[in-house]
Amino acid sequence: MSRGDRNRGGLKPRAKHHALHDVPGFRSALAAWFGREGKDYPWRRTTDPYEILVSEVMLQQTQIATVLGRGFYTRFLEVFPDTRTLAAAEDEPLLKAWEGLGYYRRARMLREAARAIENDHGGCFPDTLDDILALPGVGRYTAGAVMSFAFDRPAPIVDGNVARVLSRLMDLSEKIDGSGAQKTLWGWAGELLDESNPRVHNSALMELGQSYCRPGVPDCLGCPVSAFCRCSEPELLPIKGKRVKMTEVDESVVFVLREGKVLLRQQEEGRRVGMWRLPEREIEKDWPLVHERKYGITRYRVTLKVYEGAEGVEAGQGEAWHPVDELSERVMPPADRAALAACLGSDEEIA
């Protein structure tokens, strides 16, 4: 018995309809379900385009649970309630509000977007697709999201959720990474879009992708649009390209505690620019290894090795001594913060 047979045996109903042949039927089934079961997120309680944009940028490649559960969204809007305050933000408070979210370039580009709105649009958030798309850090998806969620204007969106939903719904057999498949997906999103109700329609499509039509094995029995779904093996869709292999790397850094201060180095360029880290150094033979931890960043599997430096260690270029009781105010990557906490907690053991 193949996986397809088992699937047809009861898990996934066979499609009776075709979404593109009964577009109104598909739209109403989707919207009706969303009306019943749609979740209540903070960004669904506002139509302020700035607040919507903040949520969308935060949610790029980041799970709702992270943004919501750890309070990033609410905290960010408290510190930067509008484009004017964000446009004027200094690096440190900006990155502090983003610390732990990752992809820190997003924060800088969000500030650039706020500056563009202040400088090029007189502080008034643009309400056309082209103008929103022109904002830094805003691509096709985010522009469509702001258009539909904030202004309730018709613009299709295709994110990971929608791509999964549509690839299953239409039984898309090609890899979704390619430009051809992307064009197809955006085309479907545009055809299916309910132009009289874009906010609800797009919200529903995305939420379907995170609930019933989730990655891996979906819950087709509860799915409100299963009658329209053409695929027989949803667990095999969408088809994705190969992932880059992880590369093992070591980072040897030094921990020095002197007169209640620790030595840190500010990242001058590249990833995590502006953030304070334990200084990478040539390690002397007699420095003891005091802590070791692994973390992943992009395609690297990093082993962070912390050695306790001896008397002679001095602050070099870009380095400074930071009082231990002020460390919470510095902007640091979670790995460095955790390593530092472990070193300060117990100087000797290797955690």
Residues marked active site are found at: 56
Contacts (CB under 7 A) with DNA, residues 182-211: 206-207, 209-210
Closest by alpha carbon to 314, among 266, 265, 270? 265
Binding DNA (rule: CB under 7 A), the pick from 8, 17, 261, 271 is 271
Does 60 help bind DNA (rule: CB under 7 A)?
Answer: yes
Does 101 help bind DNA (rule: CB under 7 A)?
Answer: yes
By C-beta, is 5 or 174 nearer to DNA? 174
Contacts (CB under 7 A) with DNA, residues 15-54: 41, 43-44
Binding DNA (rule: CB under 7 A), the pick from 29, 30, 54, 59 is 59
By C-beta, is 56 or 194 nearer to DNA? 56
- The backbone region for 323, taken as left when phi is positive above 0, alpha when psi lies in -120 to 50, beta otherwise, is beta
Cα separations in angstroms, 141 against 45, 260, 271: 20, 48, 24
Q: Are 329 and 276 in contact (CB under 8 A)?
A: no
Contacts (CB under 7 A) with DNA, residues 111-140: 136-140
Cα separations in angstroms, 206 against 89, 126, 166, 186, 216: 32, 24, 10, 14, 16
State the binding string over 135-154 for DNA (x if CB under 7 A, else -). -xxxxxxxx-x---------
Does 341 help bind DNA (rule: CB under 7 A)?
Answer: no
By C-beta, is 1 or 65 nearer to DNA? 65
Under rule CB under 7 A, how many of the chain's residues touch DNA? 58
By C-beta, is 143 or 278 nearer to DNA? 143
By C-beta, is 242 or 285 nearer to DNA? 242
Token pair belonging to 54: 């903040």
Tell me the window of 85-93, 280-288, 293-301, 315-323 that interacts with DNA (CB under 7 A).
293-301
Binding DNA (rule: CB under 7 A), the pick from 264, 335, 340, 343 is 335
Tell me the window of 9-17, 102-110, 256-264, 316-324 that interacts with DNA (CB under 7 A).
102-110
Produce one character per residue of 74-84: b if its CB has 16 or more CB atoms within 10 Å, e if not.
eebbeebebbe
Contacts (CB under 7 A) with DNA, residues 272-291: 272
Contacts (CB under 7 A) with DNA, residues 78-97: none
Helix, strand, or coil here: 103? coil
Token pair belonging to 269: 């360029």
Q: CA 229, 234, 236, 237 torsion: positive or negative?
A: positive
CB neighbour list of residue 273: distance below 8 Å, 6 or more residues apart: 104, 267
Angstrom distance (rounded) from CA 276 to CA 261: 14
Q: Are 114 and 83 in contact (CB under 8 A)?
A: yes
The residues with which 258 forms a beta bridge, in sequence order, are 261
Tell me the window of 123-131, 226-234, 242-250, 341-349 that interacts with DNA (CB under 7 A).
242-250
By C-beta, is 168 or 313 nearer to DNA? 168
What is the helix (H) or strand (E) element at residue 323, kind and residue range? strand 319-323
- Where along the sequence are the contacts to DNA (CB under 7 A)? 41, 43-44, 55-56, 59-66, 100-105, 109, 136-143, 145, 159-161, 164, 177-179, 206-207, 209-210, 215, 240-241, 243-244, 246, 270-272, 295-299, 301, 333-335
